[in-house]
Amino acid sequence: MQTIDNFNFENKKALIRVDFNVPLDADLNVTDTTRIEAAKPSIIKVLEDGGSCVLMSHMGRPKGQRVDSMSLKHIVSTVSDIVGVQVKFVEDCIGQTAEEAVGQLQPGEVLLLENLRFYAEEEKGEEGFAEQLSKLGDIYVNDAFGTAHRAHASTTIVARYFTGSKCFGYLLAKEIESINKVMQSGEQPVTAILGGAKVSSKITIIENILDKVNHLIIGGGMTYTFIKARGGQIGSSICEDDKQELALSILKKAEEKGVQIHLPVDVLAADNFSNDANTQLTAVDEIPDGWQGLDVGPQTMERFRQLILLSKTILWNGPVGVFEMENFAKGTIAVGNAIDEATQQSAFSLVGGGDSVAAVKQFGFDDKVSYVSTGGGAMLESLEGKVLPGIAAILN
């Protein structure tokens, strides 16, 4: 795998695809700098070699229009603060203006291009647009895992113009390595914890990882589709009635492959989807009518904890309860604590995919697990066994 460490950037211009699609507040200030900080090591490596960086990114969904609130000019000062270099900005990402700005770039300098998605050609993966981007650097570095699952001009097509001079940045290399650790080379026992509301959104992941894991913990809303399929009473809990056959076939497949599936045994049920609802502890398959399971109960927390502590490789994708409400966050926090404990005992733990990343950040687990993935959709597609176009473009 060609990484940024395979190159010396002295007097070279690195064209780096970063993911600076960061949230801004009403005053257009950056409210979460995680993605910018994640790109810093690759940028610093180029600068320390004596090269310069041309950074390209998208922000939001401007749909090929110039939208001032989505201009990357608003993040220049934040990027400068984080990288420790006064970042220059150019109000275009292709054409004469951009090429002139790149031409004036000196070693040790960083230039940020305007939002790629101000051009519809970016998302269409248009060849001509990619070719124009390719003129802006000597070596192409893809460090944007969050967009690696999209065959866009800047993530995939542009790499064709850099035969022999393209590589992964540190962030993207670490993402690939972490996913491979879980999916291919993980020390056993391997445990996957899948949460979230719907079986349908996780089905391809479940089918793909049954060959890779020893234990599969299922939590969150999709629990109840499995419990109902097995004849349990789930009250008014969330359930995909049309996916019950699928749930049973997953249980059967797992059994055939020798994978143990672990479902909650008790839940905290509520009479309303609200933090202030009345609650009662009940067996997972004996939830009274009018009540819905919103978190796992203490017996389940302890069972899950014991299982996680026996694991050597752990994948966590999705919360096990409605963690956004304080009264139904205990199960998700308990899972986080157990993963923290297992990680301290030398297990490898990977957290990825939307809500689980939000949960680990909210409860301060982000520095207690081995790796937190930065790419929601890209992470999920990797777990489904898909080859991501942005990664294939560098490997080919």
**Binding site feature residues for substrate:** 19-21, 35, 58-61, 117, 150
Point out the catalytic residue in the list 64, 232, 377, 385. 377
What is the sign of the dihedral through the CA atoms of 72, 77, 83 and 85?
Answer: positive
d(CA 125, CA 127): 6
Residue 181 is among the residues annotated as catalytic for this protein: no
Residue set of the binding site for ATP: 202, 293, 324, 353-356
CA quadruple 7, 133, 393, 160: dihedral, nearest 10: -90
d(CA 211, CA 194): 15
Residue 352 is among the residues annotated as catalytic for this protein: no
Residue set of the binding site: 19-21, 35, 58-61, 117, 150, 202, 293, 324, 353-356
Point out the catalytic residue in the list 73, 88, 124, 198. 198
Point out the catalytic residue in the list 17, 35, 166, 174. 35
Residue 354 is among the residues annotated as catalytic for this protein: yes
Q: Nearest Cα to 58, choosing from 148, 175, 147, 166?
A: 147
Residue 137 is among the residues annotated as catalytic for this protein: no
d(CA 326, CA 100): 53
Strands 292-296 and 52-56: unpaired
d(CA 394, CA 396): 6
**378 DSSP β-pair partners:** none
Residue set of the binding site for (2R)-3-phosphoglycerate: 35, 117, 150
Point out the catalytic residue in the list 64, 232, 354, 385. 354
**295 DSSP β-pair partners:** 268
Using CB atoms within 10 Å of the CB of residue 232, give its burial: 0 to 12 exposed, 13 to 18 middle, 19+ buried. middle
Instruction: Cite the active site residues.
Output: 35, 198, 354, 377
